[in-house]
Amino acid sequence: MLETLFSRGDHIDIINGKLVITPASKQPVPKKWLAENSTRMLSEIAALLDINVYIYDGYSTGYYGKHKSPGLTLQLINISTGEDCYLTFNVELKRSRTTNNGIKGSCLPKGQFRISKKYKFYQFWLSTGLSLPPRLSSFHDYMGNLKQCFFIPTFDHGAKVKDKIIPLVNLSHSEVLARFSQLNPYNSQTSTIQQPYNKHTSMPNNDLIEAPINKGLPNNQSACSNNYELSKQGSAVISNPLLVNTTHKTPHEQTTDEWLNDWEQA
């Protein structure tokens, strides 16, 4: 994927833990395509730069420790190796007041939790740059948004994350491209400038295979031959349309050409 996008002249940045692709065509990247392919792209970049990148995998709530303190546990997973890690936050798991849904002090439904702006989880969410829920009691409905972020955690011991505020991946296009070019020094197609698709039409005429001349052609065969050569070069630009993926496949099942075509079709 990286080689193909670089050869097209597209820019690839990771800004505050989020993948940002700027196509050379100036056309916006479809959100659905980006959501489906971001993890795959980051996996290639992580392997290229030899860094461990983690993505949100899920959460759970419960009562932890000797004192059975109410808490929230986030699970993260390494996008390259599949190894997981976790970190916990203090939260409230009981109702703060009586409502139609229950009396004060009763347990919240499974998966729901409460916090205030003083809680560390609130600071963690702000650090991701994600929009806050309309109500602090509705975080459980927005936890899936964390899948947009790519983290680089450090560890206390074992799989436990050391810091509650986890650093986000930040890489510029030039950093990624420089590393890619270093490992692929002979890849002349890779540049920051979009390569034309009809590059092969710039070859001189004497490098092309001479066209066969039928006996029924006019006597001025040299003129006809030159016209044929020019016609063959001109048609090269339009004679290779992109293949359309007629069967639905997930991004992981698609070839590079297929998922690029999905992008352009969108």
82 to 19, 50, 56, 77, 250: CA distances (angstroms): 20, 15, 12, 6, 19
Contact 91, 115 (CB under 8 A): yes
Longest dimension (CA), the chain: 101
User: How far is 119 from 165, CA to CA, in rounded Å?
Assistant: 12
pTM: 0.66
Residue type, 109: P
What pLDDT was estimated at residue 74? 97
d(CA 31, CA 263): 10
Ranking 77-81, 99-103, 114-118 by mean pLDDT, the lowest is: 99-103
Q: Which residue has the tokens 């890849």?
A: 187
67: CB partners within 8 A, 6+ apart: none
What is residue 242's predicted lDDT score, i.e. its pLDDT?
43
Mean pLDDT for the chain overall: 78
pLDDT reported for residue 62: 94
Q: What are 60's strand-pairing partners? A: 73
| pLDDT over 60 (residue 223) | no
Q: Six-digit token pair at 186?
A: 């002979």
What integer pLDDT is reported at residue 69 of this predicted model?
94
What DSSP element (H or E) covers 150?
strand 150-151
